[in-house]
Amino acid sequence: MTTRLVLTSLLALAACSPSENNPVLCPEGATCGTPMDAGNDLGAVDVRTSPADVTDVGDGSLAPRDTGPVVSREVVSMTIEPASPTLTTRYGIAATQDFTAVGILRDGSRVNLANVVWAATPTDSPAGALGAESGRFTATGTSGASFAVTATFTRAGMAPLTASARLDVRVERESTAMGTTAPTPMESMRFWAAPRVSDASRAVRVLYPLEQAVMPANVPAPDVQWEGGAEGELMLVRLTKPHVEVRGWVRHTGAEFRYGWPVDGDGWRALLESDADVPLTVVVDRFDSARNEVVPSAPVTVRIARATLSGTIYYWDLSEGRIMKLDAITGARSLTVPNPPRNPADGSRCVACHTISRDGRYMSTELWGGDQPSAIFDLSASTITADPAPTLFTPGPRYLFSTFSPDGRYLVANRGNQLRLIARDTGVTIDGSNLPDSRAAHPDWSPDGAHVAYVANTNGTWGVDFSAGDLAVVDRVSETLFGAPRIIHRGASTPERPADAHPSFAPDSRWVAFQHGTNSRGARAEGSTTIGYPGRLEMVAADGAETQSAIVLQRASGGGFDSYWPNFSPFNSGGYFWLAFYSRRDYGNAQAGTRGTGRRQIWVTAVSNRPTAGEDPSSVPYWLPGQETRVDNMSAQWAPVACRTNGETCSVSAECCSGVCQRGTDGTFRCATPTMTECRRAGRTCSTSDECCTGLTCFANVCGLPPG
């Protein structure tokens, strides 16, 4: 006790005698000329600590030599400064925010604390990370987010102190559309200074994306399209989320103006990576220079689901008679088989009615026209680009529509009005399969291999064209034997639309989507005239009875009868199945899209993987990026790829097994190890269920509730 009193007295005396070596150790309320400096890095050094316990760190300030029991026990509470800052990054340039832990001493004075452990949640966000020792947050500039910042200070023999703060990281990006000129400084100043006026008569109308559309978390950037505006006018396209704003300047250039802006790739990535589950808003501001007013369009909201779709989409370019393929991530388009075999009769190379094996290796297709020889291509072969591309067997078996078994060893094929089982490698029909041999069309093998759905009781002369049909299922009894058919939906239950067509099993094999309308076709050309047939998308339970009511996919069908040939992707991701189909509805405007042409284009809708009776489980669709808009496209078939391992290139974190996609020193985005190990939340990618939080299962490389 005597020693402590002496030390305290000496300290008080020194505190009232400021010097060059002891400039700031002044108790609160003292009149010695130099007040307590809250900027000192004390961790924790208070006014009752002996000068022998502090050291000069070389810049005139004092830092603790030893945060012993006497020192740390004097800190009774702690706060973080600043408490709720916003850190804004612009044009993708990294930015930093420093945090300070401030300790409150027993006497009420404040000191900056060293030896604090810092943390920020979420820990694996692509938006940035917090230095555990420095308290400096570095924002990457690639995405925005909210972070819970915590500081922990350990006190000897006492419970540690913690404090929290909130950090909002915002991203702002701005660019000018190619082919137009950026606003001059004067135009920019006038634009931002002008009042915003709501006037529907002068506002442009956004035509794409569609209001309330649902897109996956790695969909390629859309082309925002609108109508309205006059030559020379300046427009600003704005896509916003709470922590991101992406802006694109567009100037109306006259007759060739496309009334659109393909969203900047880096900006779109920032939107995809930020504010999960929060819709983004699209607005096009029109600058009325004559009135010096900015007139915004009505906002369009789009939701980005916690889902990732990868792999390749194979579709039929009907106009050119060829099968195209699209990279689901980049939207890059190319020919699937550049040089298919020629027709010996006339040299034509038309291919049609394709199907893809579930592993994406094989493509079965009809050659040269209706009821002509069919062939199977090995798409993984290095000779696929040869002229002609080799086939697994000499073209000879004749069939139209077909479907692979999940292991790719067999096909159920449709010729005329019968189904047959065919060996993949030889094309030979396997007798005794018990498959329907009359009035049957459009087979689809379930992902679990246990069933084949098809259209029964058709009234046409072949599987391409009929105006009545019921949805049926046959069960697989053994490897090459099938059971008796059972009807699961009567197309004729609605006499005005008696034709079911093109069934497709959901990834869980429990649901079947199909086309329901007046004909198996969507349209027919007669001379220079195209006759359209009404059709929409519906769905039924695969194990249901023929009396069950179908669930109408109203939102996917746009509320009308212009949606056809559905095909489920292999993904059960983000709480959705993802269903591709074609429609003759307008995509965008007449300049950049298909407005007014009636061309078939492929769309994708998110369908709830837990449908509720009586409720529409579908969502407003999005146009499949990468298609050629000047031709007719249909019959999209999706082949998956696994999530990407560390070191592989990526576009967003959802594609990576690790859940982290970050830019490397070479500027390339690659999958990387998270900064801290934690369980994966629902909607995050995974490689095994062990990586998912309790109660979740890794299904199709995404953590979620177990199917069923």
HSE-up (13 A, CA, CB side) for residue 487 = 16
CA distance 229 to 603: 28
CA distance 545 to 353: 30
Tell me the sheet residues that pair with 410.
423
Q: Which residue has the tokens 């069939």?
A: 399
Name the token pair of 451.
Answer: 């069933």
CA distance 549 to 21: 88
Contact 16, 30 (CB under 8 A): yes
Q: Which residue has the tokens 């309205």?
A: 228
Contact 635, 316 (CB under 8 A): yes
CA distance 567 to 564: 10
Terminal-to-terminal C-alpha distance of the chain: 71
Name the token pair of 249.
Answer: 């300047």
Strand 300-304 and strand 213-215: the pairing is parallel
SS3 content of the chain, % helix, strand, coil (to 5): 5, 40, 50
C-alpha distances (whole Å) from 365 to each of 115, 136, 198, 337 are 68, 59, 54, 11
Secondary structure letter of residue 11 according to DSSP: H
What's phi and psi for 177, nearest 5 deg?
-60, 140
Residue 490: per-residue pLDDT: 95
CA distance 641 to 47: 64
Name the token pair of 279.
Answer: 């819709």
CA distance 119 to 150: 5
Backbone torsion region of residue 360, taken as left when φ is above 0, otherwise alpha when ψ lies between -120 and 50, otherwise beta:
left
Respond yes or no on whether the N-terminal peptide bond of residue 498 is cis (omega within 30° of 0): no
What is the mean pLDDT for each group of 10 consecutive residues in the chain (708 residues)? Answer: 36 35 34 33 38 34 40 88 97 96 94 94 92 96 96 92 98 93 94 96 97 95 96 96 97 95 94 93 95 97 92 93 91 94 93 92 90 91 92 90 96 96 96 97 97 97 95 97 97 89 97 97 83 94 91 95 96 94 97 96 97 91 96 92 73 75 87 70 70 74 60
Classify the C-alpha dihedral 191-194-199-202 as positive or negative. negative
Strand 161-176 and strand 86-90: the pairing is parallel
CA distance 302 to 210: 8
Residue 27: per-residue pLDDT: 35
Residue 64: per-residue pLDDT: 42
Name the token pair of 206.
Answer: 């956004």
Number of neighbours of residue 479 by Cβ within 10 angstroms: 13
Residue 484: per-residue pLDDT: 97
Q: What is the CA radius of gyration of the chain?
A: 33
Name the token pair of 15.
Answer: 């505190």
Please name which of 241, 330, 253, 321 lies closest in space to residue 282, comparing C-alpha atoms.
241
Q: How far is CA 71 from the centre of its chain?
A: 52
Please, what's the largest Cα pairwise distance for the chain?
114
Domains, in order of start, for the chain: 2-169 (2.60.40.1080), 177-304 (2.60.40.10), 312-639 (2.120.10.30), 643-708 (no CATH)
Contact 627, 583 (CB under 8 A): no
C-alpha distances (whole Å) from 145 to each of 248, 271, 654 are 22, 11, 16
CA distance 404 to 491: 25
HEC letters along 300-316: EEEEECCCCCCCEEEEE
